[in-house]
Amino acid sequence: MVEFSHLTKAYKKRVAVDDFTLSVDVPIFGFLGQNGAGKTTIMKMIVGLLAPTSGTITIDGALSSHPIFKKKLGYMPETPYFYEHMTGMEFLRFCDELFEHGGSDAAHYEELLKKVGIFGARSYEIGTYSKGMRQRLGFAQALVNDPEYLFLDEPLDGLDPIGRREMKEVMTDLKKEGRKVFLNTHILADVEEICDEVGIIHEGKMLYSGSVKAFCAGKPLEERFMEVVEAHEKQRT
């Protein structure tokens, strides 16, 4: 379980996350919000790239800042960064060796590249990869340490329809393996298709969390999302 308790992140002139409280204990959780809503800020705090101004994040009952969670967490940022001169295989080995266990054999990296559909490009320099291939490699990187929890920030961005379908299949396979996936995305149809629960955040505040089916109540997810956001705006005014 991942739990957020009164989480706040404030900058000099702006509160990006405002008293955010949430418990997540489902295989695939979809995190939705407009640009600037605070989704990426929260995800960066989960994996330790940002420190909260106040509040806590716990995973399995312990603070997420504990070193033990480096082994449990996999993270794909919104814009993955790569060393252009490396090949796909070399990059996965480099990322894997950042963890204490040292590094795996080539078969592990080959399996990951097959899983995300770019095994054929394993020996090509990343500088020659397309946007979609880079997204797939970023996904593979998030899996390199065999994590229990995956935090994916816009993993389907830049993928063609076939690529989106394949990556969604990877996420459902991870669910079958007993892993937990925390997914940030703007593609609401994908959330409706694969997520067990959804959270709606707007201007750093949680507006809704719960079952996707219950939230939609027979309507398209996009329509319900806009209804909730617009209702919140009316209350403020």
Instruction: Output the pLDDT for position 105.
Output: 84
Nearest to 91 by CA among 79, 109, 69, 73: 109
Averaged pLDDT for residues 118-134? 95
Tokens 């397309």 appear where? 130
Average pLDDT, the chain: 90
Instruction: Output the pLDDT for position 216.
Output: 86
Confidence of residue 130 (pLDDT cuts 50, 70, 90): very high
Sign of dihedral through CA atoms 186, 189, 195, 196?
positive
How far apart CA 168 and CA 144 sit, in angstroms, is: 18
Instruction: Output the pLDDT for position 100.
Output: 73
**Which residue has better confidence, 122 or 222?**
122
Q: Name the CA dihedral angle for 190, 191, 195, 200, rounded to a multiple of 10 degrees.
A: 170
Averaged pLDDT for residues 163-192? 91
Confidence of residue 231 (pLDDT cuts 50, 70, 90): confident
Beta strands (DSSP E) in the chain are 2-10, 15-24, 28-32, 54-59, 62-63, 73-76, 149-153, 180-184, 197-202, 205-211
What do you get for the CA distance between the two ends of the chain, in Å? 36
Residue 135 has pLDDT above 70, yes or no: yes
Query: Does the reported pTM lie above 0.85?
Result: yes
CATH of the domain at 221: 3.40.50.300
Residues 6 or more apart in contact with residue 156 via CB below 8 angstroms: 135, 163, 164, 167, 168, 185, 187, 190
Per-residue model confidence as pLDDT tens digits over 31-43: 888 888 899 999 9
**Neighbouring C-beta atoms of residue 128, cutoff 10 Å:** 10
Instruction: Output the pLDDT for position 44.
Output: 92
Task: Describe the strand order of the beta sheet including 2-10 as a list of residue ranges.
Answer: 15-24, 2-10, 54-59, 62-63
Instruction: Output the pLDDT for position 93.
Output: 93
Domain that holds residue 165: 2-236
Confidence of residue 12 (pLDDT cuts 50, 70, 90): confident
Residue 127 buriedness (CB in 10 A; 0-12 / 13-18 / 19+): exposed
Half-sphere exposure of 120 (CA within 13 A, CB side): 2
Averaged pLDDT for residues 45-64? 89
Of 59-73, 124-138, 203-217, 222-236, the range with the lowest mean pLDDT is 59-73
Please count the structural domains in the chain: 1
Per-residue model confidence as pLDDT tens digits over 66-114: 777 777 899 999 888 899 999 999 999 999 988 877 567 889 999 999 9
Going from the C-alpha of 222 to that of each of 11, 179, 206, the distances in angstroms are 30, 27, 17
